[in-house]
Amino acid sequence: MATPTTRRCLAVGGLAAALLTGCAGQEDAVRKVARAFEDPAAAPADRCALLAPTTRETLESDESLPCVDAISQVPLPGGRVEAVEVWGGDAQVRLSDDTVFLTETPSGWRVSAAACEPRGELPYDCQVEGP
Mean pLDDT score, 19-24: 48
Lowest mean pLDDT among 1-10, 39-48, 100-109: 1-10
Sketch the domain layout of the chain as residue ranges: 4-129
pLDDT at position 22? 47
pLDDT at position 123? 94
DSSP assignment letter at 40: T
Residue 78: pLDDT band (50, 70, 90) is confident
The pLDDT tens digits of the residues spanning 27-53 come to 999 999 999 999 999 999 999 999 999
Share the mean pLDDT of the chain: 85
CATH for 4-129 (3.10.450, 3.40.1350, 3.40.50, 1.10.357): 3.10.450
Q: Is the pLDDT of residue 116 over 70?
A: yes
DSSP 50-103: TB-HHHHHHHHHHHTS-HHHHHHTS------EEEEEEETTEEEEEESS-EEEEE
pLDDT at position 1? 41
H or E element that contains 28: helix 16-38
DSSP assignment letter at 44: H
**76 with 98: CB under 8 angstroms?**
yes
The pLDDT tens digits of the residues spanning 46-74 come to 999 999 999 999 999 999 999 999 999 99
